[in-house]
Structure 1
Amino acid sequence: MSTSISRLRRVFAKNTPIITATPQILTKTQTPKQEEKPTSVKSLVNKLSKQKNLTTLVENFKKCSEIRRFRSRHLVYEKTIGRLALAKQHSLVEQVLEHQKKFDDITKEGFAMRLISLYGKAGMFDHALKLFDELPELKCVRTVKTYNALLNASVASKKFDETEKLFRELSLKLSVEPDFCSYNIVIQAFIEMRKWENALSMLDEMERNGVEPNLITFNTLLNGFYRDGKFEDGERIWARMEESGIVPDIISYNVKLQGLVNVGKISEALELVEQLRNNVEKPNIFTYNVLIKWYGNNGNLDEAKSVYDNMLKSGIVPDWFTFEALIPCVCGKGEFGLALKLCEKSIGSNCHVSAGIVQVVVDGLVKESKVEEAKGLMEIAQSKNCYGSKLKMPQEIE
C-alpha cells in the first residue's frame, strides 16, 4: 500500500426615437403621465421558474411565447419541457410545443429543429416524427439539419431500433446526403444497443462514402467499447483514430482511463494519468473521480485520500460525484471526523450528497459519542430543501 501511495504522489507532483405626438405642456399642478414599462423577458422567466403548478406553468409559458424575444430563450424551453417530461406530463409538453407552430419562426429550420429535439428529450419520438412530416406544410424546408435533429430525437427517446431505419429511408426519400453528424448519431444508437459490429461497420461505411470521421466519432466508439469492458477492441479503435491523424482530447483519455480501471489495470491507469500530467490535455475532475471511485470501492482509503488531496492541490474543485465516491469509503474505515468535514464541505458547496450517506455519517458520529457534531450536521443538512425530513437522529429511528 505504501508503494502505491508513493507512486500516486510522484504522479501528481508535477443607440433616439422621433417624437410625432404633440408635446404636452405641463402646468404647476400637472404631473407627467408615467408610461407603464413592459415586463422584461428576464422577469417573465423568473416567474415561470418559480411556478409550481404545471398546468398554470404551461398557460403562462404559452402567453410568454407570444413575445419574439422570449422564443429565442433556448434554455428556458429546455428546462420547462424537462420539468414536464420528468413529471410525465406529456399532454402538457404537447400543448407547449404545438402552440409554437402558430408563429412565423416555424418556417425557419433552426426553430423547427429545436421543437423536434425537445420532443425527443421528452421521450415523445412519435410527435417529433409527426412534426418533421408536417414541416413542408408549415413552409419549412427540410435539409440534413432537420434530418439529423430527427435522428437525434430517436436516440434521445431511446428508440434506437428506429435510428438506422430513418437513416436509410429518409436520406433516399428526401435526397439528403448524410454528413458526419448523421453517421455519429447512428453509431451512438448502435453503441447503446451494444451492437458493436454494426457500429464499426458504420465507421467503415462512413469512410467509404467520403465522410471523414471526427473526434466525436471516435470518442463515441471508445466510450462504448471501453465502458463495456472490451478493452482490446477499444485499443484497436484508438490506434485507428491516431492513424486518421485525429488527436485525442481529455474525453478520449478519460474513457480510456475508465476502461483500464474497469478491467483492473490500475498500474497502467496511473501511467496514463502521469502521461496526462505532462500533456497539453491535463487531468480534470472526471480523471480524479475515476481513481477515487476505484480506490473507494476497493476499500483503499489512503490511496483515495491521496488522489483527493492532489486534486485539491491542482486547483480542481470537487463535485457531487467526488463526495459520493469518497465519503462511504471514509465511513467504512470509521473515520467519521473526516466524513463530517467532507459532508459539511459538500453541502456548503451545494454538492448535496444523498441523504443516505449523510445519515450514515450522523449515525457514526453518535456511536462515537459525538452527538453535538451529529446535531450540527443535521442542522446544516436540514437547512437545505433537498433533504427535508429524510434525516433523523439515531434515537428517532424505529
Structure 2
Amino acid sequence: MVHTHFQHQPGSQKKKPLLFPPMAANILRKNSRFTCSLRPFSNAAATTDTSLPSTILCAATISRIKSSIREESNPDRLVDLFKSAATTPLFYGDRVIYKITIQKLARARRPDLIELLLEHQITNSSTPKSEGFLMRIISLYGGASMPDHAASTFDRIAVRRSERSLCALLSALLKCGQHARVLETFKKAERVLGVAPGIASCNILLRSLCEDGNVVAARNMLDEMPQSDLMPDINSYNMVLNGYLKEKKEEGFEELLQELTKKKMDANVSTYNCRIAHLCSKGRTFEAEELLDVMVSKGICPNVFSFNTLIDGFCNEGDACSAMRVFRRIHVMKNRDSSVASTNYTTYIVLLGCLVEKAEFDSALEICNLCLSKKWVPPFQAVKGLIHGLIKNSNVKEAKNVVEEMRRAVKGDSIEAWKNAEGEFAF
C-alpha cells in the first residue's frame, strides 16, 4: 500500500493527504474520464485507526477503471490500470474484472505480466490472504495455463487448507490438461498436503480420467469410492456417463444408467443432457426431444447445452425444419419462464449452416439477422451461401441488406476478407 504523506514543517500547516496512489494519479491524469469527487478519511480517522487505507479511490473512479480495463487492448497499460486500484476492496472483491484481465493477458501471450500482476496481489499488504482469495488466484493461473504457478500459490496458503482449496488446485491442473498431475496431487493430498479428499475432489479426478480417455479407470474408481466412506453423488455418475459418451462405449453407458435407476438417484440437468446426447449420436433425435418434456415435467430446467444438442442432432440428420422448431421452442419457453437458458453463438451458427445447406433461405435470413442484431458475426461461408440463395430466389433487396449489415459488423482483419467476399455477388 502507498501511505498518505503529510509534509509538516515547524510553523507550517499540515498539507492535505494525497487522494490517489501515485500510479493511479498518473493514469487518471492521462484519462479525463476518471475525474470524480473523492471523500478522503478525516485526519482524526487517519491518525487513530491504522487499519484504514490511507489513500482512497472513490467508487466512481473504481468503476471507470474497471470500464477501461474492459476496453483496453494494450497489455502493459492493462496491468497499470489494474494495479492502480487492485488493493481497494471495491476492486479486489470483483471476480469478473480479475477474470477479464487475466484472459486478455493470456490471449496476448504475456505470462510474464500475469505473474507480475498476480504476484503483486499475493504479496501486497492491502489484499486479503484468506483461503478464498488465494483460491481465486489459483483458478486464474489455471485459466492462463500456468499450472506451476497455481501449485506454488496453493503451497502459500498459510491458514489450514480445506478441501475447497484442494479442489481449486485440481481444477486448475485440469484446465491446463495436466491429467497425470491431477492424479498425483489427489493421491498425495492427505499424506503430503494435509487435505483429505471428499466427493468434490473425487468428481474432479473422475472428470480428469474421462477427459484423458480412461473411462475404465473412472468406472473402477466410482465402484471403489464407498470403500473409503465416500458415496458417489449424481455428479459422480454424470462424469462417468460423459466419459462413456466420449469414448462411444454404449454398453457401459446403458449399464450405468440402469444402476442409477436401481439406486433411485435423482437425475439432474447434466444427467438428462447425457441421455439426450446419447440418443442424438444414434440418430434418434426425436426421442431425445421427448426427454425435454420429461425434464420440464419434473421441474428440471433445460440449459443451453440441452437445446444445442437437439438442434445439432436434427441438423446432423438433415432435418432443418425440426431444428428450427426447437429454436422457436426455446423462445416460447423463455417467455413463460425467465430461468430457461438463452441461446448462444453456437446455437445460431449450427442452425444457420444447416438452413442454408437445406435451402431454407427465409428461416436462414431470420437467424442471420438475429445473429447480427446480437453483434455476432456469422461464418462467411454460411452468409455467402445465404446471399447466393436469396439472389437466386429474386430476393435481391434482402441480400443487399445482409451485405450492408455484414459490412458494419466485421472488424479488424476480417474487413478486407469480407470485401473480397462481396466481389462474388452479382447484384
TM range (shorter): 0.7 to 0.9
* Preserved CA contact (<8 Å) 1:107 1:141: no
User: Which residue does 2:389 correspond to in 1?
Assistant: 364
Alignment of 1:137-216 (within 5 A): 139-216=158-235
CA contact (8 A) 1:320 1:352 kept: no
The answer to whether the 8 Å contact 1:123/1:156 transfers is yes
Q: Which runs of 5+ in 2 are unaligned?
A: 1-35, 40-56, 335-339
1:93 shift after superposition: 0.9
1:335 Cα offset (Å) = 2.8
In the other structure, the counterpart of 1:338 is 363
Partner of 2:149: 127
Q: Secondary structure at the match of 1:314?
A: helix
Deviation at 1:125, TM superposition (A): 0.2
Letter in 1 for 2:406: A
Amino acid at match of 1:185: I
What TM-score, normalized by structure 1, do the two folds share?
0.83
Aligned partner (choices 310, 313, 324) of residue 349 of structure 2: 324
Among residues 244, 265, 282, which one is paired with 1:246 in the alignment? Answer: 265
Q: Is the 8 A contact 1:229 1:262 kept in 2?
A: no
SS in 2 for 1:391: helix
Greater RCO, CA 8 A, separation 6+: 1
- CA drift at 1:72: 1.0
Distance 1:124 1:369 in 2: 55
Shift of the alpha carbon at 1:294?
A: 1.8
Q: Residue 87 of structure 2 corresponds to which residue in structure 1?
A: 66
**Among 136, 159, 175, the residue aligned to 1:114:** 136
Question: Does the 8 Å contact 1:295/1:303 carry over to 2?
Answer: yes
1:221 matched to 2:243:
no
Partner residue in 2 for 1:235: 254
Distance in 2 (CA, whole Å) between partners of 1:384 and 1:395 is 14
Query: Residues 322 and 174 from structure 1, CA distance in 2 versus in 1: closer, same or farther, beyond 3 angstroms?
Result: closer
Which deviations, in whole Å up to 9, do the C-alpha atoms of 1:217-239 show, x marking residues without a partner? Answer: 12222222224322331222223
Amino-acid identity (%): 28
Higher mean displacement: 326-335 or 86-95 = 326-335
CA distance in 2, matches of 1:395, 1:285: 33
* SS at 1:340 equivalent: helix
Distance 1:35 1:351 in 2: 38
Distance 1:392 1:369 in 2: 23
Matched with 2:99 is 78
Structure 1 unaligned blocks of 5 or more: 1-33
Q: Look up the equivalent residue of 1:391 and give its one-letter code.
A: W
**In the aligned structure 1, how far is the partner of 2:64 from the partner of 2:392?**
50
* Residue aligning to 1:52: 73
Match of 1:43 in 2: 64
How far has the Cα of 1:353 moved from its partner? 2.8
Q: Does 1:91 align with 2:112?
A: yes
In the alignment, structure 1 residue 291 sits paired with structure 2 residue 306: no
Judged with a 3 Å threshold, the aligned counterparts in structure 2 of structure 1 residues 148 and 282 are, in CA distance, closer, same or farther, namely closer
Residue 82 of structure 1: CA displacement? 1.1
Q: The residue matched to 1:254 in structure 2 has which SS?
A: helix
Partner deviation per Cα, 1:329-367 (whole Å, 9 max, x = no partner)? 221222323321221122213454333322322233234
Provide closer, same or farther for how the CA distance between residues 146 and 306 of structure 1 changes in structure 2, counting only shifts above 3 A. closer
Structure 1 residue 213: deviation in Å? Answer: 1.6
> Shift of residue 271 of structure 1?
4.2
What is the RMSD computed on CA atoms of the aligned residues?
Answer: 2.6
Match of 2:9 in 1: none
Give the CA deviation at 1:308: 3.2
Cα distance, 1:247 vs. partner? 0.6
Q: Do the aligned residues in 2 keep the contact of 1:206 with 1:213 (CA within 8 Å)?
A: yes
Deviations 1:146-188, CA, capped at 9 Å, x for gaps: 2222111110111011111111123211332111111111111
- Higher mean C-alpha displacement, 358-367 vs 40-49: 358-367
**How much does 1:313 deviate?**
3.4
Query: Across the two proteins, how many residue pairs are aligned to each other?
Result: 363
Displacement of 1:245 in angstroms is: 4.1
TM-score (ref. length: structure 2) = 0.77
Q: CA deviation at 1:144?
A: 2.5
Distance in 2 separating the partners of 1:268 and 1:238 = 16
Q: Distance in 1 between matches of 2:266 and 2:82?
A: 44
Assess, with a 3 A threshold, how the Cα gap between structure 1 residues 278 and 35 changes in structure 2: closer, same or farther: closer
Q: Assess if the C-alpha contact under 8 Å between 1:227 and 1:262 holds in 2.
A: no
CA contact (8 A) 1:323 1:346 kept: yes
Q: Distance in 1 between matches of 2:391 and 2:421?
A: 7
Contact 2:356–2:382, Cα closer than 8 Å, also in 1: no
SS at match of 1:88: coil
